[in-house]
Amino acid sequence: MGQTLIMTGTQAAALAARLSRVQVIAAYPITPQSKIPEVLSEYVESGQLKAELVRVESEHSAMTVCISASMVGARVFTATAANGLAYMHEQLHWAAGARLPIVMPVTNRGLGAPWTILNDMQDTIAQRDTGWMQFYCMNNQEVLDQTILGYKIAEQLLIPVMICFDGFRLSHTVMPVETLTEKEVDGFLPPYKTPYKIDPQNPVNMNPVVLTDPIPDPHGELCPSYMGFRHRLQETFENAWPTIQAATREFTQLTGRSYEDCLYRYQADDAEMLFVTMGSLSSEATEAVDALRAGGTRAGVIGLRVFRPFPAATLAQAVSRAKILLVVEKAISYGYEGALNTELKAALFHENGNRPAIFNTIVGLGGKDVKPKDLEQIARESAQEASKGTVQTHPRWFGYGI
C-alpha cells in the first residue's frame, strides 16, 4: 500500500490521474479546480507522469482535446467547475454519444449570474442528462478512489464519468488520504485499449451523420439510426450495475475500502427519519444524526455516491422503513423542486407499502454554510409538519436570508 498523506481534494484528484497513468491532459484553470492542472503540470515537468499536457484557451476546447485523444486510444483527463462545465455542454453530449471513456473531476461551484466562486451542485446537476455517469464524493479519500474507479468503469462501459466533489469544502480542505502505489494501480487498471483501432489501411467512419432509419454499410449490414445509437447508450446505463459492482469489489480486495454499496449509510437500519443527500452534506448529516439520536430521535443518513445511473431500486429499498425522508440538496430544478427529490419520489412510486412523508429542503447555494445544527433544525421542523399531516408542495429554502 501507499502512504497516508494530508492533502486537499484537488491534490487527491491530480494524484489519482497520475496513478491512473493518464496520457493526455487538457488544462484550463477555473476556481476552485485550478490546482488540479497545476499539480499535474508539476508531475509532467518532473517526469513523474509521462503525458502530454495541452494548454487550451477554453473549457470547450479542453473537452475537444479529450474527445480527439480518446478517439485514437489515449487515456485522457481534464477537470472543471461551474460556468466552465456549462461552456462544455455541447461537447459533453458529443463525448457521451461517441462512447468515449473520459474521466473528469468537477469541483462543484455555483453558476453565475450573480457570480460566486463558492460551492453548490447546480453545475453538475444541470448536466445530468448529457449521458455522463456521475459519482459524488463525501471526502477527499473518495475523490482519489472514485477517480481511479472511474477509469476502470468508464473503459468497460464506454461511458464518460464526472467525479463530483464540493468546491472549497473538499477541493481546498486538507484531510488524511490513504494512497496507492503505481504498481497496485497498474494491476487494478490495465492500459486502455480502444475497441476501434485507427488504421489507415482499414478506415472506419466515426460519428457520421445518421438518418432516421437504419441503413446498410458497404458490407450490407444494417447500422443503427440516430435513435438506435441513443437506445444503445440508455441500455448500457440500465445494465451498468454489474460492471460497477465488479469494479468496486476488486477495489475493495486491493484497498480494503468498500464502494460496493452505491449508497453511504449511517444509522439507517432502524431509522424512522432519514436524511437523503449527496456529497459533503452526507458528512454534515452524520453529525446531525448523532445529536438527534442523543435526543431520542431515531435518525439516519442515506448519501448517494452514484447519481447517474440512478440507483432507484437500491435507494427505494434503503428508505423503505422510514416514516420521514429529509431530502436536503444544494441544487434546484427551477419551477419545481430539487432534482434528487424528484428522482427519489419516482423511485418510490412503484414500491408497494411504505409511503413516507417527504420534505425537500434547498440549502447551501453559493457556498452558504450548512452546519449540523442547521440540519437538526430542518429535522425538527419537518417532524412537526409531518405530525400535522402536511404534504409539501414546494421545496423549503433554508438559510437564504432576504
Q: How many Å apart are CA 277 and CA 301, to the nearest integer?
A: 8
Is cis: bond before 356, omega within 30 of 0? no
State which fold the 4-193+245-251 domain adopts: Rossmann fold (3.40.50)
* Per-residue pLDDT tens digits for 205-236: 777 788 889 888 788 888 889 999 999 999 99
- For the residues 78-104, what does the mean pLDDT come to? 98
| Residue pLDDT, tens place only, 153-212 | 999 999 999 999 999 999 999 999 999 999 999 999 999 998 887 788 888 777 778 888
Handedness of CA 49, 55, 61, 64 (dihedral sign): negative
CA separation for the pair 147, 256 (Å, rounded): 17
Q: What integer pLDDT is reported at residue 353 of this predicted model?
A: 67
Work out the burial of residue 127: count CB atoms within 10 Å of its CB; fewer than 13 is exposed, 13-18 middle, 19 or more buried.
buried
Where in the chain are all domains bearing CATH 3.40.50.920? 264-397
What per-residue confidence (pLDDT) applies to 352? 65
Could you give the residue range(s) of every CATH 3.40.50.970 domain in the chain? 4-193+245-251
Average pLDDT over residues 309-323: 96
CATH class of 264-397: alpha beta
Rounded Cα distance, 40 and 184, in Å: 20
CB 315 within 8 A of CB 303: no
Question: SS3 for 105?
Answer: strand
Which cell numbers hold the place of 94?
A: 458529443
Query: 204, exposed or middle or buried, with CB in 10 Å at 0-12, 13-18, 19+?
Result: exposed
Helix spans in 224-371 (H) = 226-238, 241-255, 281-294, 312-318, 339-349
CA–CA–CA angle 41, 44, 49 (5° rounding): 130
**Does residue 267 surpass a pLDDT of 80?**
yes
From 149, 117, 129, select the one nearest 89 (Cα to Cα): 129
